[in-house]
Amino acid sequence: MKQSLYVSILFMGAMLLTACRTALPTGPRADWADVTVETTGTGHLTAPLPWPAEARLSAIRNAKADAYAKMEYQIMALSTAPGETVLQRVGEDPVRRRQVAAFVRGAQILEMKPRPQGIEVAMRLYLGEGFRTLLGLGHKKSVTPRQGPPTLTQ
């Protein structure tokens, strides 16, 4: 039992590394936030459950979680400046990490494909100015003081 657990953990780690290896350029770029991240997650059908729909929903949920994890891994490896990655920028701050995770949850689901062993989910997320602002690197819009309504003078 332990051996099969270790083999499955190694297999999942290898899948994560190979899936994330070539998707994003990790070198510094002037337009680093103008990137669209695309990733694919897989969810395997588990042992036969009492209802087939429950097994399918479980596979979809696992595929989405896999895709979100891969996407977050890719984003954290992205370079924002020479010698600085998003992971270093976020650091150990739990609030910033939750903000990045919430941003990743906004990814668009492109398609769900049934596979012989389970479900495959393809997702896409555009980082853009919203992500740059989340990291504290965006340009804040200047707010001009609002003038009240005109008054009547006699």
pTM assigned to the model:
0.67
pLDDT of residue 24: 47
CB atoms within 10 A of CB 42: 20
pLDDT of residue 109: 93
pLDDT tens string, the chain, 154 residues long: the values are 555 544 444 445 545 444 444 344 444 445 566 788 899 999 988 766 677 788 888 899 999 999 999 999 998 888 877 778 888 888 888 888 899 899 999 999 999 998 888 899 999 999 888 888 887 776 655 556 666 666 666 5
pLDDT of residue 120: 94
Q: At what angle do helices 52-76 and 2-20 cross, to 10 degrees?
A: 50
d(CA 77, CA 138): 19
d(CA 137, CA 139): 7
Domain ranges of the chain: 21-134
DSSP state of 75: H
pLDDT of residue 20: 45
